[in-house]
Amino acid sequence: MKHWKETGEILGRVIELAALDRRASLATVVRILGSAYRRPGAKFLVEDDGRTTGGVSGGCLEADVREVALEVTRTFEPRLLHYDTGSDDRTVWGLGLGCNGSVDVFVQPATTPAARRVFSALRASLEGDAPLASSTVISGPAAGRSVLVGPGGTLASSADDGGQGAVLARLADDCLSSERSCVRRLGAAEVFTEALTPPPHLVVCGAGDDARPLVACAADAGFRVTIVDHRPAYLSAERFPAATARLALRADDEVAATLPAGPRTCAVVMTHSLGKDREWLRRFLAADPIYVGLLGPRERCARLLDEVGAPEHAPVFGPVGLDIGAEGPEQIAISVVAELLGVLSRREPSHLRGKERAIHA
């Protein structure tokens, strides 16, 4: 879900640069083997003056990728890079990092007319709430050609040949259904197909000061955050700059029925009012969420659950957050977002040092 937000921000910058008649190149992680800091789809924008946005690693690859990207910006020739992050720094592209993995990165011109057709359509589509997939040729004479598809079919294409475009669209459509990014062969070439799934919504009920770090932390993690409160003065952009929406609502307002709902929706109820928390909890339990967090001590949470008649296995997490010894709004925000990520990934939180498989397995 992080890729959705990151991609939108980077492509917004690409569009700005193109409007100024400036050049840039886009580097994308297309394949990893073993341990890697970023996953396929991670992006790194390099502008013609060397400024960058995003990243393809934890900082160990960016310097080299930046130099290659500047060359691609000058020549308009895409490059497919392979990095071995193992301990042997004598191999070709060996970095001697001891990370025991490999990373393939595709670098392409980002501001050419052909690239902009797809990138502009993708940037606009990221404002919606539908899954997307794009197939890009990453090797061979057609490297850089791409097709973007959504649930309704092809949205944009930079492929010159209609037959090639149709094949790329079929590959993208396959990944749209599976929601998995992958690299596949297309004759002598390779194609990277990226599946982009809309990030989950998080509705935070209560715009007190303790909600500010939660909204900021959740937005940074990739959530689309809506903050609601019955007091309009508390909902200023200055207080919640990272929120996707700021709504002056009470739980019993008719317009509250238009709030995000369904299994891709999470909510945290923290109005600091027993009555208001009760009504928000009642509304969200009827909206089939995957997660409802309740701020407050165990006894208060149990009382609220009893008063709304919550079923035994309702997805209510109260007290909200992971037990990491958090104190104060900022640390509590981290514990709540960590719990949210664990629930969404269906993982029981634990120490990575105790995991025998790869981190992202």
Q: What is the pLDDT of residues 314-337, one digit of tens each?
A: 999 999 999 999 999 999 999 999
Mean pLDDT of 222-236: 96
pLDDT of residue 95 exceeding 60, the answer is no
pLDDT digits (tens, 9 = 90+) for 29-40: 999 987 677 889
Of the two residues 214 and 161, the one the predictor is more confident about is: 214
Residue 353 is predicted with a pLDDT of 86
Q: How far apart are CA 89 and CA 99, in angstroms?
A: 12
Residue 252: both structure tokens together: 């019993």
**Minimum mean pLDDT range among 134-138, 198-202, 355-359:** 355-359
C-beta of residue 109 within 8 angstroms of C-beta of residue 99: no
Adjacent-strand bridge partners of 317? 293
Q: Is the dihedral of CA 83, 112, 181, 266 positive or negative?
A: positive
Nearest to residue 191, comparing CAs of 213, 169, 216? 169
C-beta of residue 120 within 8 angstroms of C-beta of residue 84: no
pLDDT of residue 97 exceeding 80, the answer is no
Residue 360 is predicted with a pLDDT of 63
Residue 92 is predicted with a pLDDT of 37
Q: Could you give the residue ranges of the DSSP H alpha helices within 20-140?
A: 62-75, 113-125
User: Across 176-302, where does the E strand assignment appear?
Assistant: 182-186, 189-196, 201-205, 224-229, 245-248, 265-269, 291-294
> In the chain, pLDDT over 70 holds for what percent of residues?
94
> In the chain, pLDDT over 90 holds for what percent of residues?
77
**DSSP secondary structure code for residue 223 in this structure:** -
**DSSP secondary structure code for residue 266 in this structure:** E
Mean pLDDT of 332-356: 92
Residue 168: both structure tokens together: 């790329």
Q: How far apart are CA 291 and CA 206, in angstroms?
A: 17
Q: Could you give the residue ranges of the DSSP H alpha helices within the chain?
A: 2-19, 62-75, 113-125, 162-178, 211-221, 274-285, 298-307, 329-344
Residue 98 is predicted with a pLDDT of 45
pLDDT of residue 77 exceeding 90, the answer is yes
* Multiple choice CATH, 201-344, 3.65.10.10, 3.40.50.720, 3.40.50.2300, 3.40.50.300: 3.40.50.720
Of the two residues 343 and 96, the one the predictor is more confident about is: 343
Confidence of residue 357 (pLDDT cuts 50, 70, 90): confident
pLDDT of residue 89 exceeding 70, the answer is no
Residue 294 is predicted with a pLDDT of 97
| Residue ranges of domains in the chain | 1-111, 112-198, 201-344
Pairing verdict, β 153-157 and 146-150: antiparallel
Residue 91 is predicted with a pLDDT of 40
Q: Is the dihedral of CA 190, 127, 26, 53 positive or negative?
A: negative
pLDDT digits (tens, 9 = 90+) for 233-248: 999 999 999 999 999 9
C-beta of residue 186 within 8 angstroms of C-beta of residue 161: no
Q: How far apart are CA 114 and CA 121, in angstroms?
A: 12
Nearest to residue 67, comparing CAs of 46, 43, 94, 92? 46
Confidence of residue 94 (pLDDT cuts 50, 70, 90): very low
